[in-house]
Amino acid sequence: MPGPKLNVIVTRRLPGAVENRLKELFSVELNRTDTPFSREQLTEAMARADILVPTLNDTIDASLLSQAGPNLRLIANYGSGFDHIDVQTARQRGILVSNTPGVLTDDTADMTMTLILTVMRRFKEGANLMQSGDWQGWSPSALLGARVGGKRLGILGMGRIGGAVARRAHSFGMQIHYHNRKRIHVDTETSLDATYWESLDQMLARVDVLSINCPHTPSTFHLLNARRLRLMKPTAFVVNTSRGEVIDENAFTRMLRAGKLAGAGLDVFEKGHEINPRLRGLDNVMLLPHMGSATQEGRLEMGEKVIINIKTFADGHRPPDQIVPSML
């Protein structure tokens, strides 16, 4: 006789196909309102759940984990980033943590390339002009942007997504430069004609566009601080589709407003959905609401990975996407 179904609590609304499959396999509590859980609701859910399925909106810190119920044994995160979860404390309490890596690589790289094109070619300003009805016709000197081909792209973080961005940018004729914890394989470097910079400072001073593709960790918090931002050319652009905390947003905003950087494309922000109001009014800044993974295919594949992680755990095995100390 099979045992009772595991009690799975999901903190946000997921694609219908994912929710239906979860209901077939487990005893599931869904968030029908799609309103983020309050801290009190998250505490209560962790007290009752065998498995919690959170998203990046849910901060699961040591204090919250200390109140977890005795049956909570897996936090199956719906997303690849896991800096909102105290993985070390969870492990100490015997709670495994899994994520959904790999499925969003192409979607996020597409978004990154889109932002590079948008800010360099001033597409946002052109679209705003058309929407406002103020366009007076073509002019030889209007909305002159920067040519993408031939420009130096600096990639901060040459993992899966950084590599995918490099491949796309190389096809557009950009020169690839990168800074990473370790150098990538020589064959990949050769195929991309990529230049490795051990010194981030030296790379920043030379690139025309910077793409941020590294995770948020204690060592990358404000990695782009005021000092490093000042190293960049005033004609340079910054695109961030990774984590907002990597940039000192106040210093960054001041430089954009002072014309010390040419522009920016941002899909993530230092304080989550609380956007610095001084960024909103800038014509040379494209702001997006964390859309890097917002494709139907990507969100379904994320759900499939969550289900596989839970099912594998329920069958008595280690989840294939378990986060281990070497990843932190």
Same domain for 94 and 147: no
pTM here is 0.91
Same domain for 257 and 117: yes
- Report yes or no on 247 lying in a domain: yes
Whether the pLDDT of residue 328 is over 70: the answer is no
189 Cα distance to chain centroid: 24
Same domain for 238 and 167: yes
Q: What CATH code is carried by the domain that includes residue 212? A: 3.40.50.720
Same domain for 49 and 116: no
Same domain for 313 and 197: no
Structure tokens at 14: 């997921």
- Report yes or no on 2 lying in a domain: no
Q: What is the pLDDT of residue 258?
A: 97
Q: What is the pLDDT of residue 325?
A: 62
Which amino acid would we find at residue 62?
A
Same domain for 224 and 89: no
Whether the pLDDT of residue 8 is over 80: the answer is yes
**Tens digits of per-residue pLDDT, 133-151?**
999 999 999 999 999 999 9
- Report yes or no on 1 lying in a domain: no
Half-sphere exposure of residue 300, counting CA atoms within 13 Å on the CB side?
7
What would the mean pLDDT of 167-192 be, rounded to a whole number? 97
Q: Which domain holds residue 321?
A: 7-103+295-327
Q: What is the pLDDT of residue 1?
A: 40
Structure tokens at 115: 């932002």
Same domain for 134 and 89: no
**Tens digits of per-residue pLDDT, 17-31?**
999 999 999 999 999
Same domain for 198 and 52: no
Same domain for 98 and 114: no
**Tens digits of per-residue pLDDT, 61-110?**
999 999 999 999 999 999 998 999 999 999 999 999 999 999 999 999 99
Same domain for 312 and 282: no
Sheet holding 195-196, edge to edge: 195-196, 175-179, 152-156, 209-212, 237-240, 263-266, 285-287
Same domain for 306 and 216: no
Count of structural domains, the chain: 2
Quote the CA–CA distance of 304 and 108 in Å, as a whole number.
Answer: 18
- Report yes or no on 236 lying in a domain: yes
Structure tokens at 81: 């980033």
Q: What is the pLDDT of residue 2?
A: 53
Contact between residue 282 and residue 262 where contact means Cβ atoms under 8 Å apart:
no
Contact between residue 306 and residue 76 where contact means Cβ atoms under 8 Å apart:
yes
**Tens digits of per-residue pLDDT, 111-129?**
999 999 999 999 999 999 9
- Report yes or no on 178 lying in a domain: yes
In sign, the C-alpha dihedral spanning 307, 240, 112, 215 is negative
Same domain for 300 and 224: no
